[in-house]
Amino acid sequence: MPAIMARPKPETFDKQKTVAENRRARFDYYIEDKFEAGLALHGTEVKALRAGEASIAESYAEVRGGEVWLVNANIPEYSHGNRLNHEPRRPRKLLFHAREIERMLGAVERKGMTLVPLSIYFNRTGRAKVELALAKGKQAHDKRQSIKERDWKRDKARLMREKG
């Protein structure tokens, strides 16, 4: 009888339509591990996301009571919503497996890491997902090094184009 093996995880997540991206996170943090989570939303929040309106620039995630919450993410009120519209900056529950939550909680408590949202997107089945990263903060000198590397890559590409 063959050994039963777990299905391998895909390298990248199935992003069909990216709604919001936290581009600053890759500059401010060293990204260690990435997770994909479902997002518990109210009705008008889904419509606002489908319209492409969201911001996760200042947001973060935290583990409270055995659950993971997305804090300070801004999904503005839906323009055609009525009195049942949602609150734009309310904490939103992220849907994870218990084992993933334990792994994140351990990394945050022991290693001093941060849970940073990288993007909000819709997958192929139309579900809203959050790409969350376990990250470690960069110091000022690390950021300067990142700027130097980025500038060198840009100059190198320009030189290669010019020289042939």
Query: How many other CB atoms sit within 10 Å of the CB of residue 109?
Result: 10
Summarize pLDDT for 12-31 with one digit per residue, the tens. Answer: 677 788 898 998 888 888 88
Contacts of 98 (CB under 8 A, 6+ apart): 66
Q: Which domain holds residue 120?
A: 17-138
160 belongs to a structural domain: no
Structural domain tally of the chain? 1
Contacts of 89 (CB under 8 A, 6+ apart): 72, 73, 74
Quote the CA–CA distance of 107 and 96 in Å, as a whole number.
Answer: 15
The residue among 108, 144, 70 whose CA lies nearest residue 152 is: 144
Confidence (pTM): 0.77
* CATH number for the domain harbouring residue 41: 2.40.280.10
Summarize pLDDT for 51-88 with one digit per residue, the tens. Answer: 888 889 999 999 998 899 999 999 888 877 777 788 88
